[in-house]
Chain A
Amino acid sequence: MKINRRRFLLGTTVVGGGLLLGYATTRPSKHRVANETAGSEPFLTTWLRISEDNTVTVIVPHSEMGQGVHTSLPMMAADELDADWDLVKVEQAPATDLFANGVLVKGFAESLGVSFPRFLDGLASSATMKVAEIMNMQITGGSSSVRFTGELGMRAAGAAAREMLVKAAAARLDVPETELSTSLNYVHHEASGRSLTYGELASDAARFEPSSKPKLKEEKDFTLMGKSIARVDIPAKVDGTAAYGIDAAIPGMLYAAVKTAPVFGSKLQSVNAEVALSRRGVVKVIELENAVAVVADNYWRAKQALASLDVQFAASENDQVSSSSIYAQYDEALEGELNEDVAEGDAASALASAETVVEATYRVPYLAHAAMEPMNCTVHFHDGKCDVWTGTQDNLGIRGRVASVAEMDENDVTLHGFYLGGGFGRRLPTDVNTIDQATLIAKHFDVPVKTLWSREDDMQQDYYRPAVTSKFRGGFDANNQLVAWQNHYIGKNEPAEAAHTPYSIANKDIAYADSETHVPFGAWRSVAHSQHTFFLESFVDELAHRSGQNPYQFRLNMLADKPRHAAVLKAAAEKAGWGRNLPEGHAQGIALQESFGSIVAQVAQVSINSDGSVKVHRVSCAIDCGRTINPDTAASQAESGVIFGLTAALYGEITIENGRVQQSNFTDYEMIRLHDSPEIEIVSVDSGDALGGLGEPATPPIGAAVANAVYILTGQRVRELPLKNYRFTAAPVEAAV
């Protein structure tokens, strides 16, 4: 189906002598209902403001959570605009429909002939929200901001505005447009030596119609894209002025501390609030369906009073569920009927006639997000309206959620966005338990109330990266060729291709069983790739060793039809000095995966500590994200991704006992710290292909890379994470060269 895609100006307005340019890409609505207004649905909106004082303001519809999006997106618009970066300002878009970019991504993906971004599918299918609600949002996830909003929206907006400024200058100077050039917020007429600033031209420019197809620059003409521009959010993050949701300071505000039923799905039974109410500063004790809240004039007072409550939660059908019962349930499900994921060739026959069959079962536990800023939300009901202060990965989606819980019109709710003290998927609009509680608590007051969770609440009331079991069989023929690949796993999540291996194998049988548990599910940095890349790249490694082949060469041999993957694998191996002599007691492991449009390979250099624990010395990480917009930010995202994945591999484990999470804080859900953080080297091998994401793709491969090195050092194949549960003994394996 061909979609008639148009780009047009939502509005050009003269604002204080300047130009406000709202640029949207739209498509005509196919299924219009009678009461909808006529016109097109915008699906990607971008806003630029050029003021009389010659400053350019780029309004960014995505949240800044450390990934640098408040810098990279304006860079893309400013480059096409030929703007002077020193005159560019950045604003976070307000949470209103005009700035929505959700509908958007869907439309874009369709019009480009690619499938609907699956990270959105995942959210839609994993939550109670309807797809329609999901689409109407300002989501920051799926490593998508730069490759969708930036590449398709920001660049077009900047280019269109530049063309309009040139038209205005041509009229003002009475010369042909072809004699004009632009640079650093000026339009120049070289022949006469005259120049005009963008500020001087802005209001004239607003009178021109924007081009439906603005001409974008070629890569050789980029002035900002591809350069390491310092992030605009960093200065405020070194002097303490950066404001996060937790820092919202509204006059007259009260503070709520909450105790939620520890067993998911359990209800509040009874509360004796007498002692709590007599404590200094305590204003009210509020009973919710599955929680109790104490509201006081200071968070610590609320928290202390909460501890003095006598609270009972009702028994529930989940009280006997444990990690071991969940794994038993998974094993049973895998013995039952499976759903097809990939079926190529005839894996069953190939396995039946194989010379050698290798079998292995892998599994990984639940994980919590553990963002550094504990979950919080401040809500104020007043005059029939509602104000909300919180940091989210989708301000518009959270505004809608508050409106729905409060039974109000969305337009009566104002959401005040903040920097996020970590997102990683936890602050997506599917993960709303804190938001819901904050809304219901604040409903009792006409003053603002800040609901703040403790670290224990955060750890025990998360939306968890699910535990998964994955069973493999690999078959070699008489020539030692891998001819069959079977992978049966639990729970197909997003992205849909997460369990697919890039290697060329003639017969593949990849299938899954659904096995629901009562543990809340959430998207966790890299989503289903976080489990499956560990499984896939560990089992491939296992197959290499079992067939006497070098694990690097084994992979490379199966990538003949995937030159980008092969190039990335080679780059990581070269950077790491794969195959060269290592210090005594060190070994290397390698792993590769494509996710969110980027291909990443990592080599980990590992040794075993005297206490039998694992030490990761160095990680060499090669990335092909097509083209890099801000190399330094890209490197920091890759470093971050590696450490996030390594934390999970070494320490990450949420266990369930008696229906509830056992871990409670950083003491039993340990994080990598400076002393165990490896040296990380990043190699960029940009292919010039379509832009890929950077927020997530470096997370998936590291677990397998480390475990594969551990095998060489110890002869022990790690089929379950985390590594903290092992005490290894060095017993080096003679690896094939």
Chain B
Amino acid sequence: MARFRVNGIERELDIEPDMPLLWALRDELGLKGTKFGCGIAACGACTVQVNGNPVRSCVTPVSAIEGTDVKTIEGLAIDVGGSKQLSAVQQAWIEHQVPQCGYCQSGMLMAVSALLEANPNPNDAEIDGAITNVCRCGTYPRIRRAIKSLSTTA
């Protein structure tokens, strides 16, 4: 039995311990916002946060995250007086019109929000080092702009 919290909710799943978190989220819990891209941690489309750290869920067996707090894109919005409000990162993504096809952006947003949580004012080298996700549409110039808009106001 795999036990962990997802977006604050306790989950208990009768699944194989080596099932990657990605497929537990998508096919067992129906949380489709986390995306499958490569299956080998090479693209970052499946990035979620485990205890606040960015993790590539396609290669993370559920046995490795037993008892942890998992946050997915569905949990990124902030609860303000009972209603959901987009986080500052999500708002910046709209402000800068970042997504194109949008498929990689859940993973991108989870990686960026983890980065900014740990380092509110990253320089270019720190951004490059932390955000290694692939965006096939090439939204990188806007991603950098959006991150910088957040770091200067942080």
Contact = CB atoms under 8 A, between A and B. Distances in A.
A280 B140 CA distance: 41
A554 interface: no
Contacts of A370: 136
Nearest to A248: B32
A246 B139 contact: no
Contacts of B140: 643, 672-674, 677
Interface string A249-290: 100000100000000000000000000000010000000000
A455 B38 contact: yes
Contacts of B143: 674
Contact of A230 (B86, B94, B136): B94
Interface string B93-119: 110011111111110010000000000
Contacts of B135: 372
Contacts of A255: 27
A240 B73 contact: yes
Contacts of B101: 65-66, 371-373, 419-423
B137 A66 contact: yes
A332 interface: no
A240 to B, nearest CB: 3
A372 B99 contact: no
A374 interface: yes
Interface in B1-43: 16, 19-20, 23, 26-28, 30, 32-40, 42-43
Interface string B114-154: 00000000000001110111111111111110000000000
B55 interface: no
Given A455-B37, A665-B38, A373 B103 contact: yes
- Most chain-B Cβ atoms within 10 A of its Cβ — which of A454, A640, A672? A640
Given A299-B27, A674-B131, A677-B140, A372 B103 contact: yes
A237 interface: yes
Contacts of A249: 30, 32
A677 B45 contact: no
Given A280-B16, A373-B35, A632 B97 contact: yes
Contact of B138 (A421, A456, A672): A672
A234 B77 CA distance: 15
B70 interface: no
A642 B139 CA distance: 11
Interface in A671-723: 671-675, 677, 679-680
B134 A671 contact: yes
- Most chain-A Cβ atoms within 10 A of its Cβ — which of B39, B76, B140? B140
Interface string A195-217: 00000000000000000000000
Given A298-B28, A455-B38, A666 B128 contact: no
Given A65-B101, A300-B19, A674-B128, A667 B90 contact: no
Give the interface SS of chain B, mostly helix, strand, loop or mixed: loop
Contacts of B134: 372, 666, 671, 673
Contacts of A644: 136-138
Given A235-B94, A239-B76, A371 B136 contact: yes
A541 interface: no
Contacts of A423: 101
Interface residues of B, number: 57
B142 to A, nearest CB: 7
B32 A239 contact: no
A373 B43 CA distance: 11
Interface string A627-639: 0000011001001
A408 interface: no
B94 A234 contact: yes
Contact of B142 (A236, A639, A641, A647): A639
Contacts of A667: 40, 42
Nearest to B109: A238
Nearest to B73: A240
Interface in A380-425: 419-424
Contact of B90 (A238, A244, A298): A238
Nearest to B100: A66
Given A299-B27, A420-B101, A239 B90 contact: yes
A609 to B, nearest CB: 14
A231 B103 CA distance: 16
A234 B128 contact: no
Contacts of B28: 298
A670 to B, nearest CB: 9
- Most chain-A Cβ atoms within 10 A of its Cβ — which of B90, B94, B137? B137
A242 interface: yes
A298 B72 CA distance: 20
Contacts of A671: 43, 134, 136
Contacts of B76: 239-240
Nearest to B18: A304
B36 A242 contact: no
Contacts of A300: 19-20, 23, 27
A424 B138 CA distance: 12
Given A239-B77, A639-B142, A299 B99 contact: no
Interface in A513-569: none
Contacts of A68: 100
B79 interface: no
A255 B142 CA distance: 36
Contacts of B66: none
Contacts of B74: 239-240
A149 interface: no
A55 B34 CA distance: 33
Contacts of B136: 370-372, 422, 424, 644, 671
B137 A298 contact: no
A238 B137 contact: no
Contacts of A633: 97
B19 to A, nearest CB: 6
A238 B132 contact: no
A310 interface: no
Contacts of B33: 239-241
A238 B95 CA distance: 11
Contacts of B144: 674, 677
A680 B137 CA distance: 14
9 contacts: A237-B102, A239-B77, A240-B74, A298-B19, A300-B20, A456-B39, A636-B100, A639-B141, A640-B139
What 10 A-B pairs are tightest by C-beta distance, nearest first?
A240-B33, A643-B138, A66-B100, A237-B102, A421-B103, A240-B73, A66-B101, A677-B140, A675-B128, A300-B23
Interface of B: 16, 19-20, 23, 26-28, 30, 32-40, 42-43, 45, 72-74, 76-77, 86, 90, 93-94, 97-106, 109, 127-129, 131-144
Interface of A: 65-68, 230-231, 233-244, 246-247, 249, 255, 280, 298-301, 370-374, 419-424, 452, 454-456, 632-633, 636, 639-644, 647, 665-667, 671-675, 677, 679-680
